């Protein structure tokens, strides 16, 4: 055969092959923007400090305040009188901010609920307070303090029992869910029989400034309380009392979106978790109780300290996702959307102008939340209303950084009380508006379920 003919034939074949390959191969998705999960506040280091790093785009003034707030966030309070760090309440849940948010991340569910930890119980009785919020329990308020200073008694101790249930996938695989049932023992005064309890665990605190900077209208654009589009998802906004501005405002923070701002959330945590008073909440949490030891030193932290801590929380960096071009992770991301998870865990948001903090202003971010309340079904219900949130509704948690929980915090405990021991259990606990997404997940092949979880671990 003529060698020129062979060469020409091979050349034509090569051109046709390359052309066909080019036509039939889709380009890889461009993840360059999504790697910037926190916009310009993003950091790209996956290590134990991934949740505790200042945003890299801070100006000098904001960075100085951030560093002051960092020191305040780590202070352990002691009971008065003392020369420094005094103000720990007669009754409390923990002694420092960092104890409930270790490494600025997610608290682990403790083996013993009465150890010092990030776990606590909210409480209330039927009815509302003057602003439509939870109705305090006489003698207890809206949070039960299970620790006390020397010579005093805790309000009560926590106890829990578990109900194990088994989930079977269509392919025969099984998973076990552990439902906690909470009770009190040794209450210092009788607890009303109609008291309601809501367990909580300390969540991560990075990225809060970006979430506060999302314009209200952007959040409300996803509200569909009456499910007018018939997709089974009916996100609802919570409106709550803002102690700082003395008005009702959109709720953004807390497990039920029951705090309007980082300022109110932080001052409330000082007061409720540690018994530390501030100009925003100047009254002791134990006021009026027989075991209250008020030293007359209120407020115990200044507005400057509170401002510093708020700046710290507003300006923590957001860790970037990892390996988004990995084939399994790309498949998991695609399935995450297909089965309905992204209907509530909306990937992309935009922030607006935030006065005084340019670093978090006008950023494109990927928090994977709609910031709204959703009915999560009977299995996750606490049956305790919180402003407009009913007993089955919870705010959609952001998913950014969730894949680094084990690296930073040494565990994989998820959901509002840490009951889920891994990603799979967290998904299987979803119900209510998320019931269909959960069932879709269960119907996936095993390798597809693993791909969804691999995607979550990449965030």
Residue 362 belongs to some domain of the structure: yes
Q: Give residue 288's pLDDT.
A: 56
Looking at residue 278, the DSSP 8-state letter turns out to be: -
C-alpha R_g of the chain = 25
Residue 30 belongs to some domain of the structure: no
Residue 8 belongs to some domain of the structure: no
Q: Give residue 81's pLDDT.
A: 76
Q: Give residue 28's pLDDT.
A: 65
Residue 20 belongs to some domain of the structure: no
Residue 27 belongs to some domain of the structure: no
How many separate domains does the chain show?
A: 1
Residue 11 belongs to some domain of the structure: no
Residue 13 belongs to some domain of the structure: no
Range of the domain at 437: 39-458
List the pLDDT tens digit at each of the 459 positions of the chain: 443 333 333 333 333 333 333 344 566 678 889 999 999 999 999 999 999 999 999 999 999 999 999 999 999 999 877 778 888 999 999 999 999 999 999 999 999 999 999 999 999 999 999 999 999 999 999 999 999 998 888 999 999 999 999 999 999 999 999 999 999 999 999 999 999 999 999 999 999 999 999 999 999 999 999 989 999 999 999 999 999 999 999 999 999 999 999 999 999 999 999 999 999 999 888 755 655 655 666 799 999 999 999 999 999 999 999 999 999 999 999 999 999 999 999 999 999 999 999 999 999 999 999 999 999 999 999 999 999 999 999 999 999 999 999 999 999 999 999 999 999 999 999 999 999 999 999 999 999 999 999 999 999
Q: Which of 116, 122, 79 is nearest to 98 (CA)?
A: 116
Q: Give residue 151's pLDDT.
A: 84
Other beta carbons less than 10 A from residue 35's beta carbon = 13
Q: Give residue 26's pLDDT.
A: 62
Q: Give residue 101's pLDDT.
A: 98
Residue 86 belongs to some domain of the structure: yes
């Amino acid at each position: 055969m003529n060698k020129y003919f062979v060469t020409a034939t091979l050349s034509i074949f090569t051109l046709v092959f390359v052309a066909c390959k080019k036509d039939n191969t889709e380009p890889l998705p461009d993840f360059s923007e999504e790697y910037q999960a926190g916009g310009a506040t993003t950091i790209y280091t996956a290590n134990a400090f991934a949740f505790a790093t200042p945003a890299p785009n801070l100006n000098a003034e904001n960075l100085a305040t951030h560093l002051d707030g960092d020191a305040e966030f780590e202070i352990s309070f002691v009971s008065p009188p003392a020369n420094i760090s005094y103000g720990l309440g007669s009754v409390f849940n923990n002694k420092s901010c960092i104890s409930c948010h270790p490494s600025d991340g997610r608290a682990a569910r403790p083996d013993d609920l009465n150890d010092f930890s990030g776990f606590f119980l909210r409480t209330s009785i039927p009815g509302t307070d003057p602003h439509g919020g939870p109705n305090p329990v006489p003698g207890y308020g809206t949070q039960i303090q299970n620790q006390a200073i020397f010579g005093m008694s805790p309000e009560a101790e926590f106890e829990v029992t578990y109900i194990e249930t088994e989930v079977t996938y269509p392919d025969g695989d099984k998973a076990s869910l552990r439902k906690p049932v909470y009770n009190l023992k040794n209450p210092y005064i009788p607890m009303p029989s109609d008291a309601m309890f809501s367990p909580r665990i300390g969540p991560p605190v990075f990225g809060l400034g970006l979430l506060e900077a999302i314009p209200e209208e952007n959040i409300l654009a996803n509200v569909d309380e009456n499910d007018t589009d018939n997709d089974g998802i009916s996100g609802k906004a919570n409106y709550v009392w803002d102690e700082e501005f003395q008005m009702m405002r959109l709720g953004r923070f807390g497990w039920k979106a029951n705090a309007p701002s980082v300022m109110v959330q932080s001052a409330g945590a000082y007061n409720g978790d540690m018994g530390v008073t501030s100009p925003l909440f100047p009254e002791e949490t134990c006021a009026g109780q027989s075991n209250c030891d008020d030293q007359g030193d209120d407020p115990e932290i200044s507005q400057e300290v509170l401002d510093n801590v708020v700046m710290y929380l507003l300006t923590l960096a957001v860790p970037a996702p990892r390996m988004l071009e990995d084939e399994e992770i790309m498949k998991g991301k695609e399935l995450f959307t297909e089965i309905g998870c992204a209907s509530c865990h909306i990937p992309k948001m935009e922030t607006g102008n935030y006065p005084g903090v340019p670093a978090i202003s006008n950023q494109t971010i990927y928090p994977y939340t709609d910031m709204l309340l959703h009915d999560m079904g009977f299995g996750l219900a606490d049956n305790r209303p919180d402003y407009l949130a009913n007993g089955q509704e919870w705010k959609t948690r952001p998913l950014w950084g969730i894949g680094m929980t084990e690296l930073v915090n040494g565990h994989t405990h998820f959901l509002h009380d840490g009951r889920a021991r891994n990603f799979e259990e967290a998904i299987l606990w979803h119900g209510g508006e998320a019931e269909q997404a959960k069932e879709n997940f269960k119907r996936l092949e095993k390798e597809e379920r693993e791909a969804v979880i691999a995607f979550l671990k990449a965030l």
